[in-house]
Amino acid sequence: MGTARTGNSINGSSHSSINDDFEKKADSSEYDQFKRSTASESTKEPTFFNEMGWSATGLEEELDEMDTIPVSQSFEPIALPQHNVEAQFIIRKHISDQLLDSLQKIQEHIGEPSAAIFARKIIELILDMRDRIPFDPFLDVAMALYDALAYKNLWVKYTADQYKVAYKILYRLINVKDIKDKNTDKAILELEELGFNVLPFEVSIDLDSET
Protein backbone atom coordinates (compact mmCIF):
# COMPACT_ATOMS: atom_id res chain seq x y z
CA MET A 1 0.00 0.00 0.00
CA GLY A 2 1.36 3.39 -0.85
CA THR A 3 1.07 6.30 -3.16
CA ALA A 4 4.33 6.31 -5.09
CA ARG A 5 4.00 5.66 -8.79
CA THR A 6 6.65 5.28 -11.43
CA GLY A 7 6.27 5.32 -15.15
CA ASN A 8 6.81 2.34 -17.36
CA SER A 9 10.13 3.45 -18.73
CA ILE A 10 12.00 1.56 -21.38
CA ASN A 11 15.45 2.48 -20.14
CA GLY A 12 17.81 0.05 -18.52
CA SER A 13 17.55 1.36 -14.96
CA SER A 14 13.84 0.85 -14.73
CA HIS A 15 14.15 -2.60 -16.16
CA SER A 16 16.80 -3.62 -13.68
CA SER A 17 14.76 -2.28 -10.77
CA ILE A 18 11.89 -4.56 -11.72
CA ASN A 19 14.33 -7.43 -11.94
CA ASP A 20 15.71 -6.51 -8.50
CA ASP A 21 12.23 -6.51 -7.08
CA PHE A 22 11.66 -9.98 -8.39
CA GLU A 23 15.03 -11.20 -7.16
CA LYS A 24 13.71 -10.59 -3.66
CA LYS A 25 10.64 -12.72 -4.17
CA ALA A 26 10.68 -15.91 -2.22
CA ASP A 27 8.75 -17.72 -4.92
CA SER A 28 11.44 -18.72 -7.39
CA SER A 29 9.03 -20.28 -9.90
CA GLU A 30 7.34 -16.94 -10.28
CA TYR A 31 10.68 -15.29 -10.80
CA ASP A 32 11.62 -17.89 -13.42
CA GLN A 33 8.35 -17.28 -15.18
CA PHE A 34 9.07 -13.56 -15.22
CA LYS A 35 12.60 -14.12 -16.52
CA ARG A 36 11.24 -16.34 -19.27
CA SER A 37 8.64 -13.83 -20.32
CA THR A 38 11.23 -11.00 -20.32
CA ALA A 39 13.64 -13.04 -22.39
CA SER A 40 11.02 -14.05 -24.89
CA GLU A 41 9.84 -10.46 -25.25
CA SER A 42 13.34 -9.33 -26.13
CA THR A 43 13.93 -11.84 -28.89
CA LYS A 44 10.65 -12.61 -30.55
CA GLU A 45 9.13 -10.94 -33.57
CA PRO A 46 6.59 -8.16 -33.05
CA THR A 47 3.45 -9.69 -31.64
CA PHE A 48 -0.16 -8.70 -31.90
CA PHE A 49 0.17 -6.85 -28.57
CA ASN A 50 3.28 -5.01 -29.66
CA GLU A 51 1.56 -3.94 -32.83
CA MET A 52 -1.31 -2.65 -30.77
CA GLY A 53 1.17 -0.56 -28.78
CA TRP A 54 0.52 -2.55 -25.63
CA SER A 55 3.93 -3.41 -24.29
CA ALA A 56 6.14 -0.75 -25.76
CA THR A 57 4.27 2.51 -25.44
CA GLY A 58 6.41 5.31 -26.76
CA LEU A 59 9.18 2.96 -27.81
CA GLU A 60 9.15 4.08 -31.42
CA GLU A 61 9.30 7.76 -30.51
CA GLU A 62 12.19 7.24 -28.13
CA LEU A 63 14.06 5.17 -30.67
CA ASP A 64 13.61 7.92 -33.27
CA GLU A 65 15.26 10.39 -30.91
CA MET A 66 18.35 8.23 -30.51
CA ASP A 67 21.18 8.72 -33.01
CA THR A 68 22.64 5.28 -32.73
CA ILE A 69 21.80 2.26 -30.66
CA PRO A 70 24.81 0.20 -29.63
CA VAL A 71 24.15 -3.44 -30.37
CA SER A 72 25.13 -4.53 -26.87
CA GLN A 73 22.62 -2.15 -25.30
CA SER A 74 19.63 -2.88 -27.47
CA PHE A 75 16.27 -1.98 -25.97
CA GLU A 76 14.05 -4.56 -24.42
CA PRO A 77 10.41 -3.76 -23.95
CA ILE A 78 9.44 -4.37 -20.36
CA ALA A 79 7.30 -7.45 -20.14
CA LEU A 80 4.31 -7.21 -17.85
CA PRO A 81 4.90 -9.79 -15.14
CA GLN A 82 2.43 -12.56 -15.66
CA HIS A 83 -0.42 -12.71 -13.18
CA ASN A 84 -0.89 -15.92 -11.26
CA VAL A 85 -3.96 -18.04 -11.97
CA GLU A 86 -5.83 -16.74 -8.94
CA ALA A 87 -5.38 -13.06 -9.85
CA GLN A 88 -6.06 -13.74 -13.53
CA PHE A 89 -9.30 -15.45 -12.57
CA ILE A 90 -10.45 -12.53 -10.40
CA ILE A 91 -9.69 -9.98 -13.12
CA ARG A 92 -11.39 -12.13 -15.77
CA LYS A 93 -14.45 -12.58 -13.58
CA HIS A 94 -14.73 -8.86 -12.89
CA ILE A 95 -14.60 -7.86 -16.56
CA SER A 96 -16.67 -10.83 -17.74
CA ASP A 97 -19.55 -9.98 -15.44
CA GLN A 98 -19.95 -6.72 -17.35
CA LEU A 99 -19.36 -8.51 -20.65
CA LEU A 100 -22.15 -11.00 -19.97
CA ASP A 101 -24.41 -8.18 -18.89
CA SER A 102 -23.84 -6.39 -22.21
CA LEU A 103 -24.33 -9.63 -24.16
CA GLN A 104 -27.70 -10.01 -22.46
CA LYS A 105 -28.73 -6.40 -23.05
CA ILE A 106 -27.80 -6.40 -26.72
CA GLN A 107 -30.33 -9.20 -27.30
CA GLU A 108 -33.13 -6.88 -26.20
CA HIS A 109 -32.03 -4.11 -28.55
CA ILE A 110 -31.28 -6.02 -31.75
CA GLY A 111 -32.37 -4.03 -34.79
CA GLU A 112 -32.44 -0.77 -32.85
CA PRO A 113 -29.79 1.98 -32.85
CA SER A 114 -29.35 1.44 -29.10
CA ALA A 115 -27.80 -1.97 -29.82
CA ALA A 116 -24.65 -0.09 -30.87
CA ILE A 117 -24.11 1.05 -27.28
CA PHE A 118 -23.90 -2.53 -26.05
CA ALA A 119 -21.87 -3.71 -29.04
CA ARG A 120 -19.34 -0.99 -28.30
CA LYS A 121 -19.32 -1.92 -24.62
CA ILE A 122 -18.65 -5.59 -25.48
CA ILE A 123 -15.79 -4.64 -27.77
CA GLU A 124 -14.24 -2.28 -25.21
CA LEU A 125 -14.48 -4.85 -22.45
CA ILE A 126 -12.73 -7.48 -24.55
CA LEU A 127 -9.93 -5.02 -25.35
CA ASP A 128 -9.65 -4.16 -21.66
CA MET A 129 -9.36 -7.86 -20.93
CA ARG A 130 -6.64 -8.19 -23.57
CA ASP A 131 -4.65 -5.37 -21.92
CA ARG A 132 -5.01 -6.67 -18.38
CA ILE A 133 -4.80 -10.44 -18.68
CA PRO A 134 -3.06 -11.13 -22.00
CA PHE A 135 -2.02 -14.62 -20.86
CA ASP A 136 -5.47 -15.83 -19.83
CA PRO A 137 -6.66 -18.68 -22.11
CA PHE A 138 -10.18 -17.27 -21.86
CA LEU A 139 -8.92 -14.36 -23.94
CA ASP A 140 -8.64 -16.65 -27.00
CA VAL A 141 -12.40 -17.09 -26.99
CA ALA A 142 -13.09 -13.46 -26.15
CA MET A 143 -10.83 -12.31 -29.02
CA ALA A 144 -12.57 -14.68 -31.43
CA LEU A 145 -15.83 -13.00 -30.47
CA TYR A 146 -14.15 -9.61 -30.82
CA ASP A 147 -13.06 -10.42 -34.40
CA ALA A 148 -16.53 -11.65 -35.24
CA LEU A 149 -18.16 -8.45 -33.95
CA ALA A 150 -15.68 -5.68 -34.67
CA TYR A 151 -14.62 -6.44 -38.24
CA LYS A 152 -16.64 -4.33 -40.65
CA ASN A 153 -19.33 -3.84 -38.00
CA LEU A 154 -20.41 -7.43 -38.33
CA TRP A 155 -22.07 -7.19 -34.90
CA VAL A 156 -25.10 -5.63 -36.59
CA LYS A 157 -25.81 -8.78 -38.61
CA TYR A 158 -26.16 -11.23 -35.74
CA THR A 159 -29.50 -12.15 -34.23
CA ALA A 160 -30.65 -12.11 -30.63
CA ASP A 161 -30.59 -15.92 -30.61
CA GLN A 162 -26.96 -15.96 -31.72
CA TYR A 163 -26.02 -13.54 -28.93
CA LYS A 164 -27.96 -15.70 -26.50
CA VAL A 165 -25.94 -18.80 -27.34
CA ALA A 166 -22.70 -16.79 -27.36
CA TYR A 167 -23.59 -15.72 -23.83
CA LYS A 168 -23.98 -19.37 -22.82
CA ILE A 169 -20.66 -20.35 -24.39
CA LEU A 170 -18.78 -17.59 -22.54
CA TYR A 171 -20.66 -18.14 -19.30
CA ARG A 172 -19.61 -21.80 -19.31
CA LEU A 173 -15.92 -20.88 -19.47
CA ILE A 174 -15.81 -17.84 -17.20
CA ASN A 175 -15.98 -19.83 -14.00
CA VAL A 176 -13.35 -22.37 -15.02
CA LYS A 177 -10.15 -21.48 -13.20
CA ASP A 178 -7.77 -23.59 -15.22
CA ILE A 179 -8.97 -23.41 -18.82
CA LYS A 180 -7.41 -25.99 -21.15
CA ASP A 181 -6.68 -25.49 -24.85
CA LYS A 182 -9.34 -28.03 -25.80
CA ASN A 183 -11.93 -25.93 -23.91
CA THR A 184 -11.06 -22.77 -25.79
CA ASP A 185 -10.89 -24.59 -29.15
CA LYS A 186 -14.29 -26.12 -28.55
CA ALA A 187 -15.80 -22.77 -27.57
CA ILE A 188 -14.39 -21.02 -30.65
CA LEU A 189 -15.70 -23.80 -32.90
CA GLU A 190 -19.12 -23.48 -31.29
CA LEU A 191 -19.11 -19.74 -31.96
CA GLU A 192 -18.20 -20.44 -35.57
CA GLU A 193 -20.89 -23.08 -35.98
CA LEU A 194 -23.33 -20.62 -34.50
CA GLY A 195 -22.62 -18.30 -37.41
CA PHE A 196 -20.13 -15.91 -35.84
CA ASN A 197 -17.42 -15.06 -38.30
CA VAL A 198 -14.50 -15.74 -35.99
CA LEU A 199 -11.96 -15.60 -38.82
CA PRO A 200 -13.00 -12.52 -40.78
CA PHE A 201 -9.44 -11.95 -42.01
CA GLU A 202 -8.95 -15.40 -43.55
CA VAL A 203 -7.61 -15.53 -47.07
CA SER A 204 -9.09 -18.13 -49.36
CA ILE A 205 -6.46 -20.10 -51.22
CA ASP A 206 -7.34 -21.70 -54.48
CA LEU A 207 -5.60 -25.06 -54.10
CA ASP A 208 -6.52 -26.17 -57.63
CA SER A 209 -4.64 -23.34 -59.29
CA GLU A 210 -1.47 -24.17 -57.33
CA THR A 211 -1.36 -27.74 -58.59
Partner 1 sequence: MKKRPNPRLYKVIFETRYKPDLSFYENYISAARQLTGYPDWETDRLRVILKNFKNHCSVAITFKSFSYTQDSENRSLEKNNMQNLLKSLPSALNISSFLRYGYRNKYIIPVNMPFHSLVSIFELKFHSQNDKMNNFLIGKVKDVGYSFDFEEKPFSYHLRIGPMKQNQMKSFLEFNKKYHLSAETEVADYEKILKSYPQIGIYADIDVYQESENLEASTALTFVNKAREKSKIIINNINDYILE
Kindly state whether residue 36 participates in binding partner 1, applying the rule CB under 8 A. Answer: no
Alpha carbon distance 137, 142 (integer Å): 9
Alpha carbon distance 103, 105 (integer Å): 6
Kindly state whether residue 111 participates in binding partner 1, applying the rule CB under 8 A. Answer: no
* Single residue of 12, 49, 73, 93 touching partner 1 by CB under 8 A: 93
* Single residue of 56, 79, 95, 170 touching partner 1 by CB under 8 A: 95
Nearer to partner 1, 7 or 113 (CB): 7
Q: How far is C-alpha 94 from the geometric centre of its chain's CA atoms?
A: 15
- Minimum distance of partner 1 from residue 143's CB (angstroms): 19
* Single residue of 42, 50, 91, 121 touching partner 1 by CB under 8 A: 91
Q: How far is C-alpha 7 from the geometric centre of its chain's CA atoms?
A: 22
Residues belonging to the chain: 211
Kindly state whether residue 29 participates in binding partner 1, applying the rule CB under 8 A. Answer: no
Can you say whether the dihedral through the CA atoms of 186, 187, 193, 196 is positive or negative? negative
Nearer to partner 1, 30 or 62 (CB): 30
Q: Is 141 exposed, middle or buried (0-12, 13-18, 19+ CB in 10 A)?
A: buried
Can you say whether the dihedral through the CA atoms of 184, 188, 191, 193 is positive or negative? negative
Candidates 4-12, 65-73, 137-145, 180-188; binding stretch for partner 1 (CB under 8 A): 4-12
User: What is the 3-state secondary structure of 100-142?
Assistant: HHHHHHHHHCCCCCCHHHHHHHHHHHHHHHHHHCCCCCHHHHH
Nearer to partner 1, 8 or 47 (CB): 8
Kindly state whether residue 118 participates in binding partner 1, applying the rule CB under 8 A. Answer: no
Kindly state whether residue 59 participates in binding partner 1, applying the rule CB under 8 A. Answer: no
Candidates 91-99, 108-116, 148-156, 202-210; binding stretch for partner 1 (CB under 8 A): 91-99
| Site residues, partner 1 (CB under 8 A) | 1-9, 25-27, 30, 80-81, 83-84, 86-91, 93-95, 128, 132, 177
